Amino acid sequence: MLDPKTERLTIERARRGDRDAIAELIHAYQRPLEAFLFRMCGKHELAEDLAQEAFVRVIKSLDRFDDQYRFSTWLFTIGKRLLVNAQQKMKPTADSEVVEYRAGDARTPLAEVESVERGERIANLVEIAIGALGSPQREIVLLFHQQGWSVQRIAAELDMPEGTIKSHLFRARRRMLFAIEQSGAPNPGEVLR
């Protein structure tokens, strides 16, 4: 992530067609955007494609960018819109895939977690926690815990009162806790080492 001043200067250079500035913007935000989109849709390839498309659109229309907002907010908004459009075209949706995966008794979360490496165990744990959330809690949790956005910024972006965001975060954490508990997740010692 770039600090606001560096971000503004980099955007100015990118507006003038500076290729290196464009590469810097992409390098700073590609990974966070892909991580966000992946956790929203559950598909790596789709997340990568959508992130790339979001960058192409954003950089092509940099002239229309209002400096009073953060670049990342604009980028994530466009990425999210692209995801919504893609999900409308594709069936089944990510949520139903997660349900099917979790419901399959041949691959219970416990059996799966026990058979894979520690990194994959953690990834499964995250998947279980995030998979328990619906809209808009998933997005709020990702923006807050994954992207590190403030409650104020999320409230402004989602056009919701700050109190509602806090309430969603509280409920989402409880929902994730119970999902982890019910999933029969491994001994914390194995994951928390």
Partner 1 sequence: MNIFGSAWSPDPERQPSSRAQRLLVRALLALRSEARAHPYSASDRARAEALADRIMLELPRSVLPIGLAALFIVGVVCLMPLMRDAIAEGTEQRAVPVASVMEHGIRSQGAALSDGFEAMREVVAPFAAGDAPSSDADGSSERTPPADATAFSRS
Considering only residues 6, 12, 23, 69, which one is a binding residue for partner 1 as defined by CB under 8 A? 23
Which region among 5-13, 29-37, 79-87, 159-167 touches partner 1 (by CB under 8 A)? 29-37
Q: Does 173 bind partner 1 (CB under 8 A)?
A: yes
For residue 4, give the nearest of 98, 68, 74 by alpha carbon.
68
Residue 181 CB, shortest distance to partner 1, in Å, is 4
Report the site for partner 1 in 36-65 (rule: CB under 8 A).
36, 38-39, 52, 55-56, 59-63
Least Cβ distance, residue 32 to partner 1 (angstroms): 4
Q: Which of 11, 26, 40, 83 binds partner 1 (CB under 8 A)?
A: 26
Q: Does the footprint of partner 1 cover residue 109 (CB under 8 A)?
A: no
Q: Which of 166/173 has CB closer to partner 1?
A: 173
Contact by Cβ (8 Å): 191, 131 = no
134 with 124: CB under 8 angstroms?
no
| Residue 187 region by backbone torsions, left for phi larger than 0, else alpha for psi between -120 and 50, else beta | beta
Q: What is the signed CA dihedral for 162, 167, 169, 171, rounded to 10 degrees?
A: -170
Cα 120 off chain centre by = 18
Residue type, 177: L
Q: How far apart are CA 49 and CA 11, in angstroms?
A: 22
Q: By CB under 8 A, what part of segment 62-101 binds partner 1? A: 62-63, 95, 98-99
65 Cβ partners below 8 Å, 6+ apart? Answer: 11, 58, 71, 74
**Residue 22 makes contact with partner 1 by CB under 8 A:** yes
State yes or no: residue 175 binds partner 1 (CB under 8 A). yes
Of 88, 90, 14, give the one whose Cα is nearest residue 56. Answer: 14
Q: Which stretches of the chain bind partner 1, using CB under 8 A? A: 1, 15-17, 19-20, 22-24, 26-32, 35-36, 38-39, 52, 55-56, 59-63, 95, 98-99, 102-103, 122-123, 125-126, 128-134, 142, 145-148, 171, 173-182, 185, 187-188, 191-192
